[in-house]
Structure 1
Amino acid sequence: MAQLPSSDLNALDARAREIFREIVEAYLTTGEPVGSRTLSKLGGVGLSAASIRNTMADLAQLGLLDAPHAMAGRRPTQIGLRFFVDSLLQLGDVPEDEKREIDARIARAGSNPQDVMGAASELLSGLAGGAGLVVTPERDAPIRHAEIVSIGAGQALLVLVFEDNQIENRVLATPADLPPTALIEAANFLNARFKGKTLNDIRSEASAALSRDRAALDQAAAKLIESGLVEWSGEDPTAGRSLIVRGRANLLADPQALADLELARRLFDDLEKTRELIQVLDLAKAGEAVRVFIGSENPLFSLSGSSLIVAPYMNAERRVVGALGVIGPTRLNYARVIPVVDYTARAVGRVLESERKRGT
């Protein structure tokens, strides 16, 4: 993560910090570079245009500001935005009417987790002005039943039925000449060994169970089980989870996106990389706080110049099970979006907890 050396930060006096804060806030509002004359007219700094210009030059030398061309004003660099978010940003609370809207819309989604996550993604896109992203949680309900059915040459469908009545389908690659008896034997094995266990249980027990019983299994069934367990046990960290994206059109409302359609195209391409996006959002699961990725701090979006604000959400046992957030231009309104993302994550957690209590 790019950042200024602490010695350079200490060199910034109160006046330089205030001028820098004014520049960033003006840029985040308008999306346009800010000139010294414009800044002097705002009245908050109380300095002449010449004095402001000298300070802006010092800030540029530190790497906090740059200019798109020689005659333009200044705008914050990625390093500058990181410094602003970490050191100068003043976060407010989510307005009470927005809290009520978030709570109501998530509650109206009902008890289906997919519907709850879809509602969260949609309201984030509306309230934050970017695209809303939500990774659905990994199942933590026990398995009630497993079934494997052929869906054509070279493919079978693993159907998982959970104790909370949710169903997941996962496609498995199979030999083209796989006999029907192998499907039945594989399903019987899975139900005998793993019925009543959660995906976390299966993850830790799968390899040992298959090794122990491989000799008693038909060779074709054993290979099918091995393939199924890779999907079922979560060796792919994104298996069995989905990414919900709402509000892509909001990303084109930014004047900078329209001015540089290549950047917009790259961002839309990145949003199609479901597995990579899930892994990026999973970075938020390492802690309980909102995380902010600006520009190239996130390798997935390094070419599109975007910012991602993401927060984890928890289940009733206070275990982090997923993440949600907003992606948009680097000139997102961080002071507004960060609290909205944080509150929405907590609202989703409350719904998950209430559904658990209702089901017990």
Structure 2
Amino acid sequence: MSVLNDIDARSREIFRRLVETYLATGEPVGSRVLSHNSEIAVSAATVRNVMADLTDMGLLHAPHISAGRLPTDLGLRLFVDGLMQVGDLTPEERRAIESEARADTPESPLEAAAARLAGLTQSASLIVTQKADAPLRQIEFVRTGPGKALVVMVFEDGRVENRVINAPDDLPASALVAAGNYLNARLRGRSLGETRSSILSEIESNRAELDQLTSRLVRDGVADIAGEDNWQLIVRGRGHLLDEAAQDIERVRMLLDDLEKKRDVIELLTAARDGEGVKVFIGSENRLFSLSGSSVITAPYRDENRKIVGILGVIGPTRLNYARVVPIVDYTAEVLSRMLK
């Protein structure tokens, strides 16, 4: 980052120590605290002069006239991109993340990963996953009433989804079985997005060798399922956000309100699909969470073909422990990708 080139080595070290101290304490950092750091070894007056220069550059700000300094969103971005020393996961953290791959629980792998991510980071976790475009293991049609049928979809990642669709009133039970068998033969291990056009083409050209009612059920079912919003949001660990409430209850209230805007959250996270690896969104850099002063750390996870099928991440205050959370998010995405192979 070009701003780093305008800062000498001493100022850079003072800035790095200030940000690390703030992230650890959540409090403004004064010059006296930094001058007592043996690795800086300069007077409090020198530290004050450096902090004044960094404030003029827009990297620090003072919440009160007599208080110490806090990093701005720009300052945090400079720290994360150019100065942060990313820590290694401990063996215990690695085992905790990997245990989800072996856990025999009623939760889906995605829900288990979200719960573990929230627990390890003590923050709220977010996972965005594709619905109809995820690989399917099985699909079944069940009549629920006049003109309605339930589509039960079991995905390769262990999720089970039920969708109610329109169905012909005079549909016999044999047609429901035939429709399920037809789609299972074409969808197992593949996504509806991959096969939708070929299935509809086969139905329209009468190559499916299905009777008229069964063909109509398959055509309408595929169209209804694929036409829905293709993403869903899993949120775990909201309670961790409430731990911050004693310090800033209004910020937490706004953040919880933001998390209820699922479509907006999904749009933000799916934007992280572009590119590789972990992405960090800090405070005002994202429209959705700018007012609540929150940061989001995300990473994509992939299927057996290395195709990105979802995004997972952590959300919390801008004073997140980025150096610790980034490798946790990255490794959780890696383990989840292995599970989906």
Return the TM-score normalized by structure 1: 0.79
> In structure 1, what is the equivalent of residue 9 of structure 2?
14
Normalized per residue, which structure has more helix? 1
Residues 53, 167 of structure 1: CA spacing in aligned structure 2 closer, same or farther, 3 A cutoff? closer
Could you tell me which of 41, 64, 67 is aligned with 2:36?
41
Q: 1:307 & 1:298 partners in 2: Cα distance?
A: 9
Q: 1:13 & 1:316 partners in 2: Cα distance?
A: 47
> What amino acid is aligned across from residue 141 of structure 2 in structure 1?
E
Residues 39, 227 of structure 1: CA spacing in aligned structure 2 closer, same or farther, 3 A cutoff? farther
Cα deviation 1:271-298 (Å, max 9, x = unaligned): 2233333333323333330111111222
Q: 1:322 & 1:9 partners in 2: Cα distance?
A: 34
Residues 206, 261 of structure 1: CA spacing in aligned structure 2 closer, same or farther, 3 A cutoff? farther
> In structure 1, what is the equivalent of residue 237 of structure 2?
247
> What amino acid is aligned across from residue 126 of structure 1 in structure 2?
G
> In structure 2, what is the equivalent of residue 107 of structure 1?
102
Does the 8 Å CA contact 1:230/1:236 hold for their aligned counterparts? no
> In structure 1, what is the equivalent of residue 114 of structure 2?
121
Shift of 1:161: 5.4
> In structure 2, what is the equivalent of residue 93 of structure 1?
88
Give 1:81-230 correspondences, 5 Å limit: 81-109=76-104, 114-136=107-129, 138=131, 140-142=134-136, 144-147=138-141, 149-150=143-144, 157-160=150-153, 167-172=160-165, 180-181=169-170, 194-195=183-184, 196-197=186-187, 198=190, 199-205=192-198, 228-230=221-223
Q: 1:179 & 1:229 partners in 2: Cα distance?
A: 15
- Answer yes or no: is 1:341 the counterpart of 2:329: yes
Q: 1:164 & 1:305 partners in 2: Cα distance?
A: 34
Shift of 1:314: 1.9
Q: 2:89 & 2:315 partners in 1: Cα distance?
A: 19
Unaligned 5+ runs, structure 2 = none
Cα deviation 1:283-335 (Å, max 9, x = unaligned): 33333301111112222212211111111122223222222111111100011
> What amino acid is aligned across from residue 127 of structure 2 in structure 1?
V
Q: 1:183 & 1:286 partners in 2: Cα distance?
A: 46
> In structure 2, what is the equivalent of residue 285 of structure 1?
273
Q: 1:73 & 1:208 partners in 2: Cα distance?
A: 67
Does the 8 Å CA contact 1:28/1:331 hold for their aligned counterparts? yes
Cα deviation 1:89-130 (Å, max 9, x = unaligned): 1112111122122212431146x7x52222211121121121
Q: 1:332 & 1:164 partners in 2: Cα distance?
A: 30
Shift of 1:233: 2.0
Cα deviation 1:124-147 (Å, max 9, x = unaligned): 112112112223454644575442
Does the 8 Å CA contact 1:287/1:312 hold for their aligned counterparts? no
Could you tell me which of 274, 278, 285 is aligned with 2:262?
274
Secondary structure of 1:331 counterpart: coil
Unaligned 5+ runs, structure 1 = 354-360
Does the 8 Å CA contact 2:154/2:161 hold for their aligned counterparts? yes
Return the TM-score normalized by structure 2: 0.83
Residues 109, 260 of structure 1: CA spacing in aligned structure 2 closer, same or farther, 3 A cutoff? same
Cα deviation 1:240-275 (Å, max 9, x = unaligned): xx4332211111223xx4333221111112222333
Q: 1:147 & 1:84 partners in 2: Cα distance?
A: 54
Residues 226, 247 of structure 1: CA spacing in aligned structure 2 closer, same or farther, 3 A cutoff? same
Shift of 1:200: 2.4
The total of aligned residue pairs comes to: 331
